[in-house]
C-alpha cells in the first residue's frame, strides 16, 4: 500500500508523546561545547537507531566528539538528500538565572526547557525521526537519504561536519535540510560569515601614578575598539534576488529576531566579545588582548574586511592581530526546490508561509553551500539561545518535525 503525506502526519501525531520524551531525554544529555563531549548524546541517538534496526556508522576523529551517519537507498534511482543536525550546545553561564534546570528538559506550560532545546536538539530530533519514518517506506522513495548527526558545531571545530566535508564528502549528497533555529515563519537560504580576530596590544607599562612614562595598553585597546566600528560602514554590493528576498521579508525578520534584525543582515557587524588586560588597578597595563567577532554579509569577503583592519591598526602603535576563524558567507538561491517544499508544507500543515531569509548566525549548512549544494535551514525560534531559559513550544517542535518529514518525502518522491 502506498503511504501518503496524510499517513506520515498521522504517524507523527501518534508519536507526539514519544517525540517529546525523546527531546527531553536528549536535553538531559549534557553536551556543552566547550568542552564538547557528546558521548552521552551520541548514545541516546544510537540507542534510538538500534531500537529501530537502523544501521549506522560512528565517525570519531576525536573520541569524545563522535559523528553518527546512516544512509539508506530508496526503491529507485534518484537524488541524495542529507538531514543534518548537531548534538553539542552552548555552555550554561549561570544556571541560577534560569527559571528551570538548564539540563532538566522540563515540560512546563506546553514548552520544553533546557540548553539545546532550540539550538538545536529540536531540529536534530526532527532529522532523526524523519529518517526513521522514511526508512519504513524506503521502497516507495527514489534516491538516497542520509542522516548526518555531528558534534563540534558550536566552535566551528574540525571534528564534526568540517571533518566529514574533507574526509567523507559522499555523505553530503545533493541537498541538505537542516533544523537550526530559524523561526517557523522564516526559512534560511544563506548566512553571514563569521570572522574572528584577536588583537594584541603591548606597551612598556609602569606605575599608575606615572602615566607620562608609558602609554596604557588598555586605553589603546579602548580606542582600537571604537575605531573597529568603522567596519560597519563598509558598502555591501547589491546581490539582486537576495536583496529582494530580504527586503520583502523585513517585517517577518524583525518579528522573529528582534527589531532591527533585517537592517543588520546586509551590514558588517562588529562585536568585541572578550577584552582582557592589566594586572593591577594602580599599574599601567602593559598588555591587553581583544577578541572581536565580525559578521561578514554576503557579497563581501575576508580579504576586503582585513584590508580595512590593516588601515585601522596602522593608527594604533603597539597593536598586532591574527585571524582566529574565518568562514566565508554563503547562500543558496532563494528559489531552490527545497525552499519551495518547506514553504508549501508549512502552509498546508499550519497555514504558515515562511519567508526566505539570510541568517545572522552561522550553521553547518554553509559547508554544503561551499560545495555548491543547496542547503536549507528550517527550525524553531531561537528563544533563549545562548542565554537563559532556552525553550521550544511543543506545538512548534511537532510542526518542525512534520515539515521536515513532508519536505524530505517530497524531495525523494521526484
Q: Residue 53: which CATH number?
A: 3.40.630.10
Predicted pLDDT of residue 361: 84
Say yes or no: 148 and 200 in one domain: no
Predicted pLDDT of residue 242: 85
Say yes or no: 21 and 162 in one domain: yes
Predicted pLDDT of residue 388: 96
Instruction: Give the domain-ending residue among 326, 360, 389.
Output: 326
Its domain, for residue 103, covers: 5-191+329-411
Say yes or no: 364 and 246 in one domain: no
Percent helix, strand, coil in the chain, to 5, is 40, 25, 35
Say yes or no: 135 and 246 in one domain: no
Query: How many CA atoms lie less than 13 Å away from 205 in the CB half-sphere?
Result: 14
Say yes or no: 147 and 13 in one domain: yes
Instruction: Give the domain-ending residue among 326, 347, 365.
Output: 326
Predicted pLDDT of residue 243: 87
Q: pLDDT digit string (tens) for 227-271?
A: 999 999 999 998 888 888 888 889 888 888 888 988 899 999 999
- CATH number for position 321: 3.30.70.360
Say yes or no: 197 and 187 in one domain: no
Three-class DSSP category at 301: coil
Residue with cell 506545538: 395
Widest distance between CA atoms in the chain: 87
Q: How many domains does the chain have?
A: 2
Say yes or no: 107 and 225 in one domain: no
* CB 74, CB 138: distance < 8 Å: yes
Positions of the chain with pLDDT under 50: none
Residue 168, C-alpha cell as written in the block = 567523507
* CB 151, CB 38: distance < 8 Å: yes
Residue 63, C-alpha cell as written in the block = 573520541
Predicted pLDDT of residue 351: 96
Predicted pLDDT of residue 126: 98
Percent of the chain with pLDDT over 90: 90
Predicted pLDDT of residue 21: 98
Q: pLDDT digit string (tens) for 330-355?
A: 999 989 999 999 999 999 999 999 99
Predicted pLDDT of residue 359: 87
- For CA atoms 232, 234, 238, 241, the dihedral sign is negative
Predicted pLDDT of residue 116: 98
Instruction: Give the domain-ending residue among 307, 326, 345.
Output: 326
Residue 96, C-alpha cell as written in the block = 541560577
Say yes or no: 228 and 290 in one domain: yes
Say yes or no: 339 and 294 in one domain: no
Say yes or no: 159 and 19 in one domain: yes
pTM of the model: 0.92
Say yes or no: 184 and 238 in one domain: no
Predicted pLDDT of residue 252: 87
Amino acid at each position: 500500500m502506498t503511504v501518503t503525506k496524510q499517513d506520515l502526519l498521522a504517524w507523527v501525531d501518534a508519536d507526539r508523546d514519544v517525540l517529546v520524551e525523546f527531546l527531553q531525554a536528549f536535553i538531559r544529555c549534557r553536551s556543552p561545547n566547550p568542552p564538547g563531549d557528546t558521548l552521552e548524546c551520541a548514545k541516546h541517538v544510537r540507542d534510538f537507531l538500534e531500537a529501530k534496526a537502523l544501521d549506522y556508522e560512528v565517525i570519531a576523529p576525536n573520541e569524545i566528539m563522535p559523528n553518527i551517519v546512516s544512509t539508506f537507498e530508496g526503491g529507485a534511482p534518484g537524488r541524495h538528500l542529507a538531514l543534518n543536525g548537531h548534538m553539542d550546545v552552548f555552555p550554561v553561564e549561570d544556571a541560577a538565572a534560569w527559571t528551570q534546570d538548564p539540563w532538566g528538559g522540563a515540560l512546563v506550560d506546553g514548552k520544553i526547557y533546557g540548553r539545546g532545546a532550540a539550538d538545536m536538539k529540536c531540529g536534530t530530533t526532527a532529522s532523526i525521526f524523519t529518517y526513521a519514518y522514511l526508512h519504513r517506506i524506503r521502497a516507495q522513495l527514489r534516491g538516497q537519504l542520509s542522516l548526518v548527526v555531528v558534534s563540534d558545531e558550536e566552535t566551528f571545530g574540525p571534528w564534526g561536519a568540517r571533518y566529514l566535508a574533507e574526509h567523507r564528502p559522499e555523505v553530503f549528497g545533493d541537498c541538505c535540510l537542516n533544523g537550526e533555529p530559524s523561526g517557523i515563519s522564516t526559512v534560511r537560504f544563506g548566512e553571514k560569515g563569521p570572522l574572528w580576530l584577536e588583537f594584541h596590544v603591548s606597551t612598556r607599562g609602569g606605575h599608575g601614578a606615572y602615566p607620562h612614562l608609558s602609554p596604557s595598553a588598555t586605553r589603546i585597546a579602548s580606542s582600537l575598539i571604537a575605531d573597529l566600528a568603522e567596519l560597519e560602514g563598509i558598502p555591501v554590493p547589491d546581490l539582486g534576488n537576495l536583496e529582494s528576498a530580504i527586503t520583502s521579508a523585513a517585517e517577518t525578520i524583525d518579528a522573529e529576531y528582534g527589531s532591527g534584525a533585517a537592517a543588520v543582515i546586509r551590514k558588517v557587524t562588529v562585536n568585541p566579545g572578550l577584552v582582557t588586560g592589566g594586572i593591577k588597578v594602580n599599574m599601567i597595563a602593559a598588555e591587553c588582548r581583544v577578541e572581536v567577532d565580525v559578521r561578514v554579509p554576503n557579497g563581501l569577503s575576508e580579504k576586503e574586511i582585513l584590508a580595512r583592519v590593516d588601515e585601522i591598526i596602522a593608527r594604533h602603535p603597539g597593536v598586532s592581530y591574527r585571524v582566529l576563524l574565518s568562514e566565508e558567507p554563503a547562500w543558496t538561491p532563494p528559489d531552490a526546490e527545497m525552499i519551495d517544499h518547506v514553504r508549501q508544507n508549512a502552509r498546508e500543515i499550519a497555514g504558515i508561509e515562511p519567508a526566505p531569509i539570510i541568517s545572522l548566525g552561522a550553521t553547518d549548512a554553509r559547508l554544503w553551500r561551499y560545495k555548491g549544494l543547496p542547503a536549507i535551514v528550517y527550525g524553531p525560534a531561537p528563544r533563549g539561545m545562548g542565554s537563559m531559559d532556552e525553550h521550544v513550544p511543543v506545538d512548534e517542535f511537532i510542526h518542525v518535525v512534520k515539515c521536515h518529514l513532508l519536505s524530505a518525502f517530497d524531495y525523494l518522491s521526484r
